[in-house]
Chains A and B, each alone.
Chain A
Amino acid sequence: MKDTYTITAFSENHIGLLNRITIIFTRRHINIESLTVSSTEMKGIHRFTIVVEAEEEQVVKVVNQIEKLTEVLRAEWYLNDDTVYREIALYKIPIDSAIDKNLELVLREFNAHIVDIQNDFVIIENTGHVDDTEKLYDILNPFGILQFVRSGRISISKQKKELSAYLNELPLNEYVKE
């Protein structure tokens, strides 16, 4: 049965590695729902957060293939319940609509805030699950959304010793010569 899985991988920060990782999905005809790549607290190490809709067996195999890449340090997979995850969404709405008194209510309800005000529009930011940012989109739609953008997922596992604890045990040098 298909489910939503979050795959996390730590890698060296090398050119082309993103391509090597995405090829693994392409080859198996798995669509990547969202992808976030960012630097970690450890210099030179990057974190990939990949969300896919797939079957568990497929996900396990894909994670093994990712971990097999010579420049990937570790890869893991999680179900939604095993992680805390968020996406950020930005909404641009016309300044006239922003004066509407209902907007304040909406922002409070969603814990969203205005991050920028220009002469003719304001930009609202919201953080949450896709469901939340989508719901806010529907509510803001009548205000007239000029532009909407959503980030990929970032996620942190609910395990006590998370994958990133492992980073602390890593050698500082990428490689050692004889």
Chain B
Amino acid sequence: MKEPLKITGAEAILSSLIKENVDTIFGYPGGAIMPIYDKLFDKFHKLKHILVRHEQGAAHAAQAYAMVTGKPGVCFATSGPGATNLITGITNANLDSIPIIFITAQVSSTLLGTDAFQETDMISLSMPVTKWNYQVTKANEIADAIAKAFFFAKTGRPGPVLIDITKDAQNELTEFNYKKIKSIRSYNPKPELKDEDIRTTLLLMQSSKKPLLLAGHGILLANATGQLEAFVNKTKIPVAVTLLGKSAICEDNPYYAGMLGMHGNYAPNVLTNEADLIIAAGMRFDDRVTGDLSRYAKKARIIHIDIDKAELNKNVKADIAIHADIKDFLDEIIPAINYSADKRWLEQFRKLEKIEQEKVIHKECFPENGKIRSGEVINRLSVKTAREAIIVTDVGQNQMMGARYYKYKYPNSLITSGGLGTMGFGLPAAMGAQVGRPDKTVILITGDGGFQMTAQELGTVFQYNLPVKIVIFNNNFLGMVRQWQQLFNNNRYAETNMPTPDFPLIAKAFGIEGAVVKDRAKLDQALDKMLNHNGPHLLEVKIEKEANVFPMIYPGMAVDEIILEP
């Protein structure tokens, strides 16, 4: 009888990824993962590998790749330091519910627990920040482990998973028969929507004079942007978005009411506390959204729909907690709606918007003197790119400005680090977004601080000639922390002031074109040059040093106490 064909564990890993339609991997080789890279050498035609300069970069790039393509990201790292370098990126993906399959190598199973060279207990380390993880010590476990990994990562509330594979399992021979997972008995990714939930929602809507819809990241993750638009157009209910919910609805929509939260828009924050009904769709009432919880939305009945049961009644007590996929919910309720929100309620939003426009937005986007302001740069980028670009931000003031002043049009066109607020996320995420969407203009909005945290990835941008447009807002400060020091610590700027290197010169060292702009008169020209450049381009913009992001809900304040000016 013929022996069944056997392949090595390393090959089984790559074949499993191909079976899951993976075509791109972000990673970095090392000792324990060498068998996998050796097999990869023969499979580059099917699996494109992006060699980053630090594993954290791989994790962030994979996250952005997943966000812009809708496919899970895949990361490779070796054992020990390679694996631990992923932790920030895994955590970031976990808090923002992004499906990524992390594959880390491990020392041989015979050496486990011996403090062998580059051994680290990656399963324990990643446990609190992964949706699921598993250590493979035998080659015949690989196919099922990877099938489970994809199933867990993609379904339900998505999230990162990690498989740790010992070196001997990579080298061991195994039969290979890959089958995707259909169901797992301990895991219910698709909660059943109840008729009763639809009925009570309709009933509460019927009696509501001031309804407000809060759209979160769940809308984008569930691919329910079309449903959201249909729901809003039919009900005429004003819709506000969370930071990660940005781009879930086109900002031209007549019922779009702006962004929630600490640096969100004036109207939706103030009117949250006026609303008599709040429909929270795929969002989790993060503390940056709610401000003082004890004074949050007290006049409103709350309907909370989320696919993660643990989010229901976690921060805000819901009158109706609906455990369901938001897409199913919207699909089900839209045809049954016979309700239209009062026009006067929407007018209240428009009135407050006008105030914010005058007091904040106009000054930020159209200043006539002083140094360049970051808001005006983003506003100009929004116009110049006809709102077609993918915006990637770092974290801090640049992030808030990027979220506030680009007018988002298409789903998943803002890539930002929400829950974890990871400085250094920007550059590697911009790479990942560009790899995933080579057809799009990808613009990174970053600061002088965050950029320097992962600046080594310029090497990756250079190697793959990724045409990302890098805008560094340089105020020689860690701007957001400085803003807090100014507002709450009596201007005591403890360690937030930093001299910066010559950024265009750094770009040049990596073969990337760079420029700097200081004067408003030359801003348009500099932006045009960057956007028209065929290839990566870094533009350092010297901005107003002590500019602040407003409006702002100060810590401990209620949402309707949001401040327009200091």
Of the 9-residue stretches A70-78, A88-96, A116-124, which lies at the interface with chain B? Answer: A70-78
Check B338 for interface membership: any CB of A closer than 8 A: no
Partner of B127, one of A12, A23, A60, A72: A23
Most buried by A among B179, B182, B186, B309: B186
Tell yes or no: B475 within 8 A of A by CB.
no
Q: Chain B residues near A16: list those with CB within 8 A.
A: 123-124, 127, 133
Number of A residues with CB within 8 Å of any CB on chain B: 26
Which chain A positions have C-beta within 8 A of B127?
A: 16, 19-20, 23
Type the 1/0 row for B127-170, where 1 means its CB is closer than 8 Å to any CB of A: 11001110100000000100110001000000000000000000
Known: A16-B124, A16-B127. A178 touches B181 (CB 8 A): yes
Cβ contact within 8 Å between B310 and A61: yes
- Interface bits B305-317 vs A (CB < 8 Å: 1, else 0): 0001110111000
Of B186, B310, B312, which is within 8 A of A11 by CB? B186
Residue B183 interfacial (CB < 8 Å): yes
Given contacts A23-B127, A177-B179, A178-B180, contact A12 B186 (CB under 8 A): yes
Task: State whether B124 touches A173 (Cβ < 8 A).
Answer: no
Residues on B with C-beta less than 8 A from A173 are: 185
Bitwise interface map of A from 21 to 64 toward B, beta carbon under 8 Å scored 1, else 0: 00100010000000000000000000000000000000011001
Q: How far is the CA of A60 from the CA of B127 in the complex (A)?
A: 22
Residues from chain A with a CB closer than 8 A to the CB of B133 are 16
* Beta-carbon contact of B147 and A177 below 8 Å: yes
Chain A: CB-nearest residue to B131: A70
> What is the CB-to-nearest-CB distance from A165 to chain B, in angstroms, rounded to a whole number?
16
Count class of interface residues, chain B: 20 to 34
On whether the beta carbons of B123 and A70 are closer than 8 Å, the reply is no
Nearest chain A CB to B157's CB is how many angstroms away?
8
The docked-state distance in angstroms from the alpha carbon of A65 to that of B308 is 10
Give the contacting residue for A177; candidates B131, B182, B309; CB below 8 A.
B182
Report the bound CA distance from A64 to B313 in whole Å: 10
One digit per residue, 1 when the CB lies within 8 angstroms of any chain A CB and 0 when it does not, for chain B 165-204 equals 0000000000000011111111100000000000000000
Residue of A nearest to B317 (CB): A57
Instruction: Using A15-B135, A16-B124, A61-B314 as known contacts, say yes or no to A175 and B309 having CB atoms under 8 A apart.
Output: no
A171 in contact (CB, < 8 A): yes
Please indicate the chain A residues that have their CB under 8 angstroms from the CB of B309 in the complex.
Answer: 64, 67-68
In the complex, residue of chain B having the shortest beta-carbon distance to the beta carbon of A172: B185
Contact, CB under 8 Å: A170 / B185: yes
A174 at the interface (CB under 8 A from B): yes
- For B185, give its contact among A19, A171, A177, A178 (CB under 8 Å): A171
Instruction: Given A16-B124, A177-B147, A177-B181, verify A68-B132 contact (CB < 8 Å).
Output: no
CB of A99 within 8 Å of the partner chain: no
Question: What is the minimal beta-carbon distance from B155 to any residue of chain A, in angstroms?
Answer: 10
Q: A176 in the interface, Cβ–Cβ < 8 Å?
A: yes
**Which residues on A sit within 8 Å (CB–CB) of B132?**
70-71
With A19-B127, A175-B181, A178-B179 already in contact, the answer to whether A68 and B310 are too (CB < 8 A) is yes
- Chain A residues 141 to 178 lying within 8 A of chain B, measured CB to CB, are 170-171, 173-178
Q: Are B308 and A175 in contact (CB under 8 A)?
A: no
Cβ-defined partner of B184 (8 Å) among A19, A23, A60, A174:
A174
Contact A73 B310 (CB under 8 A): no
Determine chain A's interface SS by DSSP, over half rule: mixed
Q: Which residues from B are CB-within-8-Å of A61? A: 310, 314
Give the residues in chain B near A20, CB-CB below 8 Å. 127
* Shortest distance between the CB of A178 and any CB in chain B (Å): 5
Q: Are A70 and B184 in contact (CB under 8 A)?
A: yes
Query: Is there an interface contact between B123 and A175, defined as CB atoms closer than 8 Å?
Result: no
Q: Are B183 and A176 touching (Cβ within 8 A)?
A: yes
Complex interface: chain A residues within 8 A of B152 (CB): 70
Closest to A24 in B: B128
Asked if B147 and A68 sit within 8 Å, CB to CB, the answer is: no
What is the CA–CA distance of A67 and B183 in the complex, to the nearest angstrom?
A: 17
Checking B147, B183, B186 against A71 with a beta-carbon cut-off of 8 angstroms, the contacting residue is: B186
Contact B128 A175 (CB under 8 A): no
Whether B181 lies near A176 (C-beta < 8 A) is yes
Checking A65, A70, A71, A170 against B310 with a beta-carbon cut-off of 8 angstroms, the contacting residue is: A65
> CB-nearest residue of chain B relative to A174?
B185
- Using a CB-CB cutoff of 8 Å, which residues 408-425 of chain B contact chain A? none
Chain A residue nearest to B135 (CB atoms) is A15
- CA of A61 to CA of B315, assembled, Å: 10
**Set B128, B179, B185, B312: member contacting A23, Cβ < 8 A:** B128
Q: What are the residues of chain A within 8 A of B314 when measuring CB–CB?
A: 61, 64
Q: How far is the CA of A135 from the CA of B310 in the complex (A)?
A: 40
Note all chain A residues with C-beta closer than 8 A to B313.
Answer: 60
Residue numbers in B under 8 Å from A27 (CB-CB): 128
Q: Decide if A176 touches B310 in the complex (CB within 8 Å).
A: no
> A60, A65, A175 — which one has the most chain B CB atoms within 10 A of its CB?
A175
Are A72 and B186 closer than 8 Å at their CB atoms? yes
Given contacts A171-B185, A177-B179, contact A68 B308 (CB under 8 A): yes
Which A residues touch B312, using CB under 8 A? 64
**Which chain A residue lies CB-closest to B133?**
A16
Contacts of B183 in A (CB 8 A): 171, 175-176
CA distance A62 to B308 in the complex (A): 14
CB distance from B120 to the nearest CB of A (A): 15
Given the contacts A16-B123, A16-B124, A16-B127, A177 and B180 also touching, CB distance less than 8 Å: yes
CB-CB < 8 A to A73: which residues of B?
185-186
Chain A residues with CB under 8 Å of chain B are 11-12, 15-16, 19-20, 23, 27, 60-61, 64-65, 67-68, 70-73, 170-171, 173-178
Top 10 nearest A-B pairs by Cβ distance? A177-B179, A64-B310, A175-B184, A68-B310, A178-B180, A176-B182, A73-B186, A70-B187, A70-B132, A171-B185
Given A64-B310, A73-B185, A175-B183; 4 other pairs, CB 8 A cutoff: A64-B312, A67-B310, A174-B186, A176-B181
Q: List 7 A-B contacts (CB under 8 A).
A: A12-B186, A16-B124, A60-B313, A61-B314, A70-B152, A171-B183, A175-B185
